[in-house]
Amino acid sequence: MAKLLAGKVALVTGGGTGIGRAIAERFSTEGARVAICGRRDKPLRETAKATGAKWLVADVSSSDSVEALATWLKEEFERVDIVVNNAGIFLNGTVATTTEAEWDAVIDTNLKGPWLVSHTLLPLIPAGGNILNIASTLGLYSMPDAAAYCAAKGGVVNLTRAMALELAPDVRANCICPAVVETPMATDRIEAGTEVWEKMEKAQPIGRMGQPEEIAAMALHLCGPEAEWTTGSIIAVDGGQTAG
């Protein structure tokens, strides 16, 4: 049976852990040549060892770093068929309590990052290519004590729509909005005392957190040949969280 991404080159930002690692693993299994990037070399090395992916330390919020990433990708692969903008951070904070530095950190990584990576890599994306942005259900609705995160992820949702309109018909752009997924980010929130595990599980009507592999399955569909007529779609993979 033919592999769905045979011959494709895919970049996954934030590819060392969590959802990014699961996407890198699934894409590699389906025949893609995978590149991953992130800020920390250890998880990148571990994911690369497990998947055969190439890796580079890069900061998606830095234009110099992203330019270096583009140069490296061109040298290693010549093109990039699929760009998955997954890198992200979470910081608690209300409109009143969030500092300017915290606001900038979240917006620069979670919103500027997807734009900057896509903007810089467009010359490497051939016709028929894909951009997939990973947002959040907090880009579709809001909650207290996450002002910068909600603003950033809401921006990613509408950025995706703009990309789809501007890049058609050559490049497709879609967005996945996960609810609470069992990742190191979720664990960090629990350890920091900002959430409890049971509450996070019950946030989804289906009664449990999602698994990174479940997000990767949707990513594969959206970036594969069965979704060639799909662009500008904002898809909640959320255990029913946004149903009512």
Q: 114-151 burial by CB neighbour count: b if 16+ within 10 A, else e?
A: bbbbbebbbebbeeebbbbbbbbbbbbeeeeebbbbbb
Q: What is the DSSP string of 17-76?
A: SHHHHHHHHHHHHTT-EEEEEES-HHHHHHHHHHH--EEEE--TT-HHHHHHHHHHHHHH
Tokens encoding 184: 């190191």
Under 8 Å CB-to-CB from 62, ≥6 apart: which residues? none
Q: Which of 37, 131, 149, 215 is catalytic?
A: 149
DSSP 224: S
Other C-beta atoms closer than 10 Å to the C-beta of 234 total 18
What's the token pair of residue 198?
């049971």
In Å, what is the CA distance from 81 to each residue of 154, 218, 243? 25, 17, 33
18-29 and 41-51 helices cross at what angle (nearest 10)? 20
141 belongs to the catalytic site: no
Judged by DSSP in three states, 206 sits in: coil
Tell me 183's DSSP state. Answer: S
Block residue for tokens 């530095």: 101
Hey, which residues are catalytic here? 149
